[in-house]
Amino acid sequence: MFVQEEKIFAGKVLKIHICTMDGTEWLEEVTEDTTIEKLKEKCLKQKKQDNKAPDKDAILKATASLTTRHTDRTVTQHNIRDFQTELRKILVSLIEVAQKLLALNPDAVELFKKANAMLDEDEEDRVDETALQQLTEMGFPESRAIKALRLNHMSVTQAMEWLIEHVDDPSVDAPIPGHDSSGAAGAAAAATAGPSTSASASGPKVLRSLSSQSSTEESSRQDELTEIFKRIRRKREFRPDSRAVIALMEMGFDEKEVVDALRVNNNQQDAACEWLLGDRKPSPEDMDKGIDTDSPLFQAILENPVVQLGLTNPKTLLAFEDMLENPLNSTQWMNDPETGPVMLQISRIFQTLNRT
């Protein structure tokens, strides 16, 4: 930078010639009291402005003189489906198939009666051991960690935040009021106490002959199973996050709307808020709709041997029911040695067909 000596401090505003490492140059006006730090901030703002992408107005202005070409081209819309959204539809349809399959198992009624009885017993909930270990390694007492995990749907992050917030709360060690202590894993264990090997072995054949099975005995057994399934489903009813409900209701939303929003968005408060403020799609009614049973995706899932065998296992049906109402439990069922392979195959088939 070169200036005349007699004019170095002649004015209150100086112009400094700045040159950056990448070769960019410009003149910056500074006052007498400008510090080096302020000058650096100005330079950073200038650099960010130079790197800023053009907005729509700038593009239209720059291309105003250009002629329009290829206006007859059709834009191909690529419909990339979200796995979590489609998974719910898949589970709804697979539950229907599994119920029909298990109705053909002569031992199914007794197995599910045991499972339903265990759901009524006052036993402790299933707790994610990995999540519990993470919290106890942080120094939290095991009893408090278990309570925090149950209140926060086995989310380690949310459970940790809850423990920190309630560290001085005198009721932190009190049991959860009105807590349904039925364990999904315990019920599932009972359901798998003795699944019929013949039903498992004949899974593929049974799938092809569902429509031809209409004997009175089978019909009666299926009706009894249907009632058991209804009782199990009622115990699996969606439990909204109480803190999220309060937070959203404080914004002025109705309680029913808030519960619907949390159900649609898997108990995620931010997503539920966006849903309430947006077009509210998908609707709660859409959550109970299954996938098109004639679609290539569903047919590919049914033709998979691992899925076929899994559908004859009562534990798989209980897992599907649990994931349907409490999607955050999906990770635990994915890690289960019996239901995990089924979920893995469903995911692989979906990803493969979604790319084609």
Query: Are 263 and 330 part of one and the same domain?
Result: yes
Residue 326 lies in a domain: yes
Residue 120 identity (one-letter amino acid): D
Same domain, 154 and 271: yes
pTM: predicted TM-score of the whole model, two decimal places: 0.48
Is residue 205 domain-resident? no
183: alpha, beta or left, given left = phi > 0 and alpha = psi -120 to 50?
A: beta
Q: Is the same domain home to 22 and 114?
A: no
| Residue 74 banded pLDDT, cuts 50, 70, 90 | low
179 domain-assigned: no
200 assigned to some structural domain: no
Task: Please indicate, yes or no, whether residues 22 and 163 belong to a single structural domain of this protein.
Answer: no
Residues 259 and 324 in one domain: yes
Can you give the residue range of the structural domain that contains 27? 13-50
**Model confidence pLDDT, tens digit, residues 169-187:** 888 888 775 554 444 445 5
My answer on whether 112 and 32 are in the same domain is no
The Cα 140–Cα 147 span in angstroms is 11
Q: Which amino acid is at 291?
A: I
User: Do 129 and 42 reside in the same domain of the chain?
Assistant: no
The total of structural domains in the chain comes to: 2
Query: Is the domain of 44 the same as that of 132?
Result: no
Contacts of 289 (CB under 8 A, 6+ apart): 89, 92
User: What's the token pair of residue 66?
Assistant: 């250009």
**Is the same domain home to 110 and 149?**
yes
How confident is the model over 270-307, as pLDDT tens digits?
989 999 998 888 787 777 788 889 999 999 999 999 99
Please indicate, yes or no, if residue 61 is contained in any of the structural domains.
no
